[in-house]
């Protein structure tokens, strides 16, 4: 059985303030834990069922971390999943350096994405289309929220994140003709910034620049006015039916698919 102290520690990591205090977060489920073990994240502890441990003894024993054996019921009490017959891990958070688009690269920028499931899905979509850097506004939900990690299906191990004030961020980088030139430090290659709006160029007709940024906005309000002034190319996903709006994760997939096609 898990001790009360271990159980208390695990459950505390469901809250952002404790993730920040301990510099750690939870990864739950067989697939996510196994992808984690193959990544460069520092693992503090793995809590596994006897079955999962026996099936993955080689991967677990070669690592310099603590392993605890637990029942599926204990894993459910310790974590956030409704069922878990495999394991969970306690992982050290990363403090990523300033991220920007290097020559020939694209960065996905998130302006105030609030839903953890949406963020996790967007990380997974970014991974699918080969995006390796995501820059998030300070109001975007916590990257290490258990629901974000679960929804990313292991993709969080391959995509870097950087949280910052987006207005200050875009003033610091080179983004074509956007923003006052005197305030930019010309970091990275000259780049275009594409943002999704209700009115803009049809995404299916857009020719993307070699280097750039793709901005996705808040689920209800879209891209904010502070970030909008840095957008060099406004794009829209044409509507052919009667739906009021698209889920931001679906919209991200459509935009990235068109980017990859061009």
pLDDT in tens, 88-134: 999 999 988 899 999 899 999 999 999 999 999 999 999 999 999 99
Coil, strand or helix: which one is 159?
A: coil
Q: Which residues pair with 202 in a beta bridge?
A: 236
User: Would the pLDDT of 237 be above 90?
Assistant: yes
The per-residue pLDDT for range 141-175, each reduced to its tens digit, is: 999 999 999 999 999 999 999 999 999 999 888 55
Coil, strand or helix: which one is 133?
A: strand
Output the average pLDDT for the chain. 92
pLDDT in the model for residue 176: 47
Query: Which pLDDT band, with edges at 50, 70 and 90, does 219 fall under?
Result: very high
Q: How far apart are CA 261 and CA 204, in angstroms?
A: 9
66 phi-psi bin (left φ>0, alpha ψ -120 to 50, beta other): beta
Coil, strand or helix: which one is 111?
A: coil
CB 164 within 8 A of CB 135: yes
What count of Cα atoms within 13 Å lies in the side-chain half-sphere of residue 217? Answer: 20
216 token code pair? 């996705």
**pTM recorded for the entire structure:** 0.91
By C-alpha distance, which of 171, 129, 144, 123 is closest to 22? 144
């Amino acid at each position: 059985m898990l001790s009360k102290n271990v159980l208390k520690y695990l459950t505390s990591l469901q809250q952002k303030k404790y993730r920040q205090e301990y510099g750690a977060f939870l990864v739950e489920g067989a697939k996510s834990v196994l992808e984690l073990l193959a990544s460069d994240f520092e693992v503090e502890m793995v809590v596994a069922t006897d079955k999962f441990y026996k099936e993955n003894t080689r991967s677990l024993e070669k690592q310099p971390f603590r392993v605890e054996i637990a029942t599926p019921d204990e894993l459910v009490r310790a974590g956030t999943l409704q069922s878990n017959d495999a394991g969970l891990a306690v992982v050290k958070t990363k403090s990523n350096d300033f991220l920007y688009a290097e020559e020939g690269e694209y960065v996905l920028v998130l302006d105030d994405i609030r839903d953890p499931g949406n963020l996790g899905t967007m990380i997974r979509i970014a991974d699918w289309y080969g995006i390796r850097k995501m820059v998030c506004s300070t109001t975007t939900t916590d990257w290490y929220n258990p629901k974000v990690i679960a929804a990313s299906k292991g993709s969080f191990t391959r995509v870097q994140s950087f949280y910052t004030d987006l207005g200050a961020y875009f003033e610091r980088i080179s983004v074509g003709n956007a923003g006052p030139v005197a305030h930019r430090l010309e970091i990275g290659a000259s780049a275009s910034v594409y943002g999704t709006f209700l009115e803009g160029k049809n995404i299916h007709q857009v020719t993307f620049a070699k280097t750039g940024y793709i901005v996705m906005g808040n689920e209800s309000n879209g891209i904010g006015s502070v970030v909008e002034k840095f957008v060099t190319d406004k794009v829209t996903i044409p509507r052919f039916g009667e739906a009021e709006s698209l889920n931001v994760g679906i919209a991200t997939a459509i935009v990235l698919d068109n980017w990859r096609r061009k």
